[in-house]
Amino acid sequence: MSARVLTALRGALPSLRNPSVLGPGRGRRRPRTSVRSGPSVPAVVLRVALVLLCLAAGTALATSPAHWWLALVVGAVLAVRPHAALLTLGVAALVGMYAVVGSPGWQLPVLVLVTHAVLRLGAVADAVGWDGHVELAVLRDALVPFLAVQAVAQTAGALALVLDGAAPVPWLGVAATAALGALGWALVRGLRAGTRP
């Protein structure tokens, strides 16, 4: 055979060096895709944090072993399935424990902090599977709005403790709540406007 015929045959036959010509599953394997991301934490850590937050609420609110068990069960359920409906029921259970304890005091600020943290952290944990990871940047971005809402919520809680049965005019409590609501609305609106592209 001449060199011309060999060159023509090589051009007509698929090349073994080009795997895309051979079709899928033949030839050399293509490299796997890798995604680079920032530092992250396993999703299991977020779920364990939900249990610890519920136990922190138990520390503040538990007056009997039954309360401790309730806080532990709520935390375990939320860790296994942090769905929005279950998060709401879990927070309702913690608030119910506060209602049973009765005397408002230092427990109210702890409850406000813990319930808000459970709702925020549970929403992130619900979006990630058990074997997933959450970038620290996601948690860091959620921290500023969390602290802003906490500032308003803790102020409202402190005002509720101060005005508990001591308001000279009953409408003073209503006016203070309305003012805090307007402040919270303006603050959240400002945060949302700042996060839009």
Residue 197 pLDDT: 44
pTM above 0.85, yes or no: no
Mean of the per-residue pLDDT values of the chain:
74
Tell me the C-alpha distance between 128 and 48, whole Å.
14
* pLDDT band per the 50, 70, 90 thresholds, residue 16: very low
Tell me the C-alpha distance between 21 and 14, whole Å.
6
Look up residue 163 and give its amino acid. L
* pLDDT band per the 50, 70, 90 thresholds, residue 22: very low
Compute and round to an integer the Cα radius of gyration of the chain. 28
Q: Which residue has the higher pLDDT, 61 or 42?
A: 42
Q: If we measure between CA atoms, which residue out of 39, 61, 51, 163 comes closest to residue 108?
A: 61
Angle 15-16-19 from CA coordinates, rounded to 5°: 95
Please compute the mean of the pLDDT values over residues 163-192 and round it to a whole number.
Answer: 64
Percent of the chain with pLDDT over 70: 63
Q: If we measure between CA atoms, which residue out of 117, 126, 99 comes closest to residue 56?
A: 117
pLDDT, one tens digit per residue, over 144-172 is: 888 888 888 888 777 777 766 665 656 66
